[in-house]
Amino acid sequence: MSLKISVVGTGYLGVTHAACMAELGFEVIGVDVDPAKIKALSAGKLPFHEPGLDRLLEKHVESGRLRFTTDYDEVASWADVHFIGVGTPQRADGHGADMRFVDASVTELATRIRGKALIVGKSTVPVGTARRLESIIGTHAHPDAQISLAWNPEFLREGFAVKDTMSPDRLVIGCTDAHSEETLRVIYAQALEANTPLIVTDFETAELVKVAANAFLATKISFINSFAEVTETIGGDITVLADALGYDARIGRKFLNAGVGFGGGCLPKDIRALQARTSELGLTHTMGFLAEVDEINLRRRERVVRLAQTMLKDQLAGAQIAVLGVTFKPDSDDVRDSPALDIAVRLFNAGAEVSVYDPKGNTNAAARFPRLNYAPDLAAAVQNADLVLLLTEWDEFKTLLPADLEPLVGARKIIDGRNVLNRSRWEAAGWELVGMGQHYTPLDGQL
Ligand code: UDX
């Protein structure tokens, strides 16, 4: 008998997992409390941008292998395995992760399940959550139910969500019984046949792998950005430094790109939640370095605003500024905690006329900050600009040449917030181009 799968939560993680499980051949149902989302998904419409996922969703909704509902009764009685992919956002008071959605979804399932079932946590959670959920299940489960729990963190990156789910770097399973492990081995058989490393461990380790990975990535980015602060002050080339460091196989070149810093729905909130959780455990100093990582990251945004101010000779008010890229990274329409959007808003608050263009992010950004001017294309955004800021490295921007902008802009000034433009080419064309980690001596005034 083939396993029937449910995925609870139809956000980024949930929809990707559901569609990929259908692609692996399983019958899948996705459940969410938001009827509008369920309606769109049931019509095969993806409510966000993710390369390749729209096609998978459409294909499997059409084939009938993937469907969506708001009805927990149906899900609990139909599926054998329930993946929990609901959000764990930062709490409103800023202290730790908000676990309401995880707790509610596990409770909803536990009260309804009869017979044998496996609940698999995928959301990023504070360590200790699985043990706590076991006791929630114990309290709410029907006497006729035999529910096991496993923890199987998800490492997918936006922009590569389908690839990361279908061919992950590794699979991690935290569990306390052989049956759970066996069931997950069946579900992930294809990846395991392709020799994907499998780590079977306890709940705590499985939960920690995810937050440790994100803390490490965030640290790597802030590490190189801290050196950007040094080269901005004394000189040096941050990209060459990163390249030279990266040749050491123990360090590696990935995630050593200096820029406007990290953002998105994961890294910023996860490093804050990890600090909150370890403090709760009495380890007040253990993750203290992550506070520095966070601060270095946020200083990048300030730096770009100051740079813009200096390049405009302290005349931010009334200046025409074009912002290229507003999502937290390319190939995504996600503007959550986006450094680019934050910089655009800070410039606007300082009195600049800000014109934003992003290939996919305008709509989401406009929903958050309707007062910025959202341009339909790059040409409209840079029209008459006194300064252009490239803040998200979409391909469309990486391949820009000075001649593309020259007939449109008001002044030949550009900040390369991702160090993707060829500086000598732009300087040869008479542009003032300032990148990240680059020492800049304004003709008048100090930075
Ligand atoms: C991240 C993790 O990579 C993923 O494993 C986890 O499951 C979720 O969080 P994601 O948020 O999609 O994924 O983005 P990621 O590709 O990690 O980039 C995060 C941020 O770091 C982006 O804002 C990106 O622009 C920035 N970044 C990345 C840098 O500033 N420099 C780099 O060298 C790399």
pLDDT tens digits for range 39-56: 999 999 999 999 999 999
Q: Which domains does the chain have, with CATH numbers?
A: 4-201 (3.40.50.720), 234-447 (3.40.50.720)
pLDDT number for residue 446: 47
Ligand 1 lining (C-beta closer than 6 Å)? 155-158, 214, 217, 221, 255-257, 259, 261-264, 266-267, 328-329
User: What ligand 1 atom has the least distance to the C-alpha of 261?
Assistant: 30
pLDDT number for residue 240: 98
Alpha carbon 429 to its chain centroid, in Å, reads 36
| Residue 101 pLDDT level (bands cut at 50, 70, 90) | very high
User: What ligand 1 atom has the least distance to the C-alpha of 329?
Assistant: 25
Which tokens sit at 267? 């890294």
Q: Are 11 and 50 in contact (CB under 8 A)?
A: no
Average pLDDT, stretch 198-215? 98
pLDDT number for residue 441: 78
pLDDT tens digits along 307-350: 999 999 999 999 999 999 999 999 999 999 999 999 999 999 99
Record the pTM.
0.96
Q: Are 390 and 420 in contact (CB under 8 A)?
A: yes
Q: Separation of 361 CA from ligand 1 center, angstroms?
A: 17
CA separation for the pair 156, 161 (Å, rounded): 5
- Candidate list 81, 102, 266, 341, residue with the active-site label: 266
Query: Does residue 432 carry a pLDDT above 70?
Result: yes
User: What ligand 1 atom has the least distance to the C-alpha of 339?
Assistant: 23
Query: Does residue 443 carry a pLDDT above 70?
Result: no
Average pLDDT, stretch 270-296? 97
| Residue 368 pLDDT level (bands cut at 50, 70, 90) | very high
Q: Are 119 and 152 in contact (CB under 8 A)?
A: no
pLDDT number for residue 47: 94
Average pLDDT, stretch 239-251? 98
| Residue 445 pLDDT level (bands cut at 50, 70, 90) | very low
Q: Separation of 270 CA from ligand 1 center, angstroms?
A: 12
Nearest CA to ligand 1 atom 19: 262
Average pLDDT, stretch 198-209? 98
Query: Does residue 17 carry a pLDDT above 90?
Result: yes
With the most atoms of ligand 1 within 8 angstroms of its CB, the residue from 262, 296, 337, 398 to mutate is: 262
Nearest CA to ligand 1 atom 5: 155
Query: Does residue 1 carry a pLDDT above 80?
Result: no
User: What ligand 1 atom has the least distance to the C-alpha of 214?
Assistant: 2
pLDDT number for residue 319: 98
Query: Does residue 447 carry a pLDDT above 60?
Result: no
pLDDT number for residue 281: 97
283 Cβ contact partners less than 8 Å away, ≥ 6 residues apart: none
Query: Does residue 423 carry a pLDDT above 70?
Result: yes
CA separation for the pair 398, 274 (Å, rounded): 34
175 in catalytic set:
no
Q: Separation of 168 CA from ligand 1 center, angstroms?
A: 16
pLDDT number for residue 286: 97
pLDDT number for residue 94: 82
Query: Does residue 442 carry a pLDDT above 60?
Result: yes
